[in-house]
Amino acid sequence: MKREIRRTGIYTRRALLVGAVQVGAFGVLAAKLYQMQIMQGERYATMAEANRISARMLAPARGRVLDRYGTTLAGNKLNWRAVLVAEQAENVGASLDAFARIIPLAEHERVRVERDLRRRRRFIPVTLREFLSWEEMAAIEVNAPDLPGVMVDVGTTREYPFGPALAHVVGYVAPASEQDTAEDPMLALPGIRVGRSGMEKFADTVLRGSAGSVQLEVNAVGRVIRELDRHEGTPGADLTLSIDAGLQQDVLARLGDESASAVVMDARNGEVLAMATTPSFDPSLFDSGVSTAQWLAWTSNRRAPLINKTTAGVYPPGSTFKMAVALAALESKVITPNDRVNCPGYYDLGDTRFHCWSKYGHGNQDLRGGLKNSCDVFFYEVAKRVGIDRIAATSRRLGLGADLDIELPGVRKGMVPTRDWRISQGKAWNQGDTVVSGIGQGYIQVTPLQLATYTSRLATGRIVQPHLTRSVRGVLQPGSQPSDWPTLGMPERMLAAVREGMWAVVNEQGGTATIAKLPMQGVSFAGKTGSSQVRRVTREQREHGFNSENLPWEYRPHALFVGYAPYEAPRYAVAVVVEHGNAGSAAAAPLARDIMVDTLTRDPSERRETPQRLAGGGDGSGGVR
């Protein structure tokens, strides 16, 4: 009996112990369930939702660059790309290996991807491959279960319908650098491009826009089931330029294969209607990547296709500078329009002889004749009388050797020297320096854009500033009216005397550029030729009948021409520089004439409708109208 009672007690204690353990276990389980479902239910629901939903940032569409009529100069086209989100990949290296078995990655591509993965946050997609073909996209989708974290994304890439024709004005874009992404994390998004030159660089923040977001429902292996929500973000603003794309094409056709540049401006308000540089380059290559061979071809070309010669090319202005010298002398009252200087074909200063371009001389010349015949001796004497400092001050008022503040990067200021500048170089200024400055040689350096601005100011008497931006988001920018610009403050009679000489250059028998006379009834062209030496001509060469056409190309003088029309009511100004073209009258003046005819025929400053002559077609979203 006692044994039975003892045994029952043992069983009871064991049952109680087991029951206590069970109750404790169920209690712990209940507490855990309470904690998970009640206390932390929202947290775990969020985690579960995060496993089901993939959230990504979207690169905004870059704003378009348009010409004055709305023709697309830089637009966007669809670009399919493969991206990897490290946060969604269990093993990033394994995902990369699997991707490379489907779409091979070159060694440099693999290095770039791994570098981007290290530098960027895990939720930011890293581009594996852009510009996917249909077959490549299909291969990625079929193998999605074996590619955790990898997905196909659609974005845009930059498109330049006019290619090299507007490369130096519009510029180009390229992927963001490490420094760019450090300053703005949005630039790390796949498809984002950063402006590297031209208007693309100047207006980069305006064109860029702000990022959007998308939420996708995915299954256990990461395959996209459906799109749940999308916010496109804010596209970049459209930028309308003053450029007339049709006129730009005409100008380039005129320049042909020359190493040259030309600028056409609305002389009344400074709008740049055409800005052409030859040779040029294809800007779209920078978006997808420039090959080493292509880069070497560009950089080794002595005609420098990557340089915008209109704003970054500097040249001695030669005889096109003579109007600035004349105005400086008239304002300083050291000459009058009727004062005469005798030209025997040379000018002696001390024991140095300076030659006129005509070895037979021009005889007695007044200001009008000095400009018409481009008499060097006349301007040697005038420069000596007025002095370099007054010449420099007047030149800068006219836009030469001055900051023009146009909306392009890399614009050069050029140089119109002064005595103080020369002293700062550790040397003294002498009268010989002044004399050669009188014909635009010596230390003087200007850009074609400055020459066009200079001509516009001469023609209108206003301090117009060249500019390319016409409107942003359809809002017209200041500077479109002549009244927006102040006057030069020069007496009209002095400007008229210089303009009369420019008219005689083109329209009067014996002028140095009668070849530039317009074949248009009732419209006159006023202008000035220039030839600027790039190396000194020795006395021995002159004595042996020196002819610069026999020199190697790079040693020949530059050929220049500046002009405006109509003479009676100035509307357009043009500047043409033909590198090593030899003579302005032969090489640059006919080009300027033809360009002015094209400009007056199109009359872009007055036309409001879109011209129909442009090649190609499209709706303005990326094609050409």
Chain segment 416-453, per-residue pLDDT in tens: 999 999 999 999 999 999 999 999 999 999 999 999 99
Domains in the chain, please, with CATH?
Answer: 54-241 (3.90.1310.10), 245-283+305-469+476-602 (3.40.710.10)
Sign of CA dihedral 373, 378, 382, 384: positive
What pLDDT does residue 623 have? Answer: 36
Angle at 437 between CA 435 and CA 443, to 5 degrees: 130
* Helix (H) and strand (E) counts in the chain: 23, 21
Tell me the three state secondary structure of residue 23: helix
By CB atoms closer than 10 A (0-12, 13-18, 19+), residue 108 is: exposed
What is the Cα–Cα distance from 251 to 585, expressed in whole angstroms? 18
Confidence at residue 617, expressed as pLDDT on a 0 to 100 scale: 37
Active site residues: 319
**For residues 287 and 77, what is the distance between their CA atoms, to the nearest angstrom?**
12
Q: Helix, strand, coil: what percent of the chain each, to 5?
A: 40, 20, 40
Residues of the chain with confidence (pLDDT) below 50:
47, 543-544, 612-625
CA contacts within 13 A on the Cβ side of 548: 21
Can you tell me whether residue 43 is helix, strand or coil? helix
pLDDT at 544: 45
Average pLDDT, the chain: 86
Distance (Å, rounded) from C-alpha 219 to C-alpha 388? 79
What token pair was written down for 278? Answer: 């030859």
- Give per-residue pLDDT as tens, 453-463: 999 999 999 99
Gyration radius from the chain CA atoms: 36
What three-state secondary structure class fits 224? Answer: strand
Q: What does the CA dihedral 105, 111, 114, 120 come to, rounded to 10 degrees?
A: -120
pLDDT of residue 121: 76
Give dist(CA 274, CA 452) in Å, integer.
11
Given a contact cutoff of 8 angstroms between Cβ atoms, the answer to whether 264 and 599 are in contact is yes
pLDDT of residue 53: 66
Cα→Cα distances 192→88, 185, 188, 305, 470, Å: 21, 11, 7, 26, 25
Strands 65-66 and 53-58: unpaired
C-alpha to C-alpha distance for 622 and 161, rounded to whole angstroms: 7
DSSP 50-106: HHHEEEEEEPPPPPPEE-TTS-EEEEEEEEEEEEE-GGG-S-HHHHHHHHHHHS---
Whether this prediction's pTM lies above 0.85 is answered by no
Residue 194 and residue 176: Cα distance in Å, rounded?
6
Q: Which residues of 69-79 are buried (b: 16+ CB within 10 A; e: fewer)?
A: bebbbbbbeeb
Which residues are registered as beta bridge partners of 108? none
Span between the terminal Cα atoms of the chain, in Å? 112
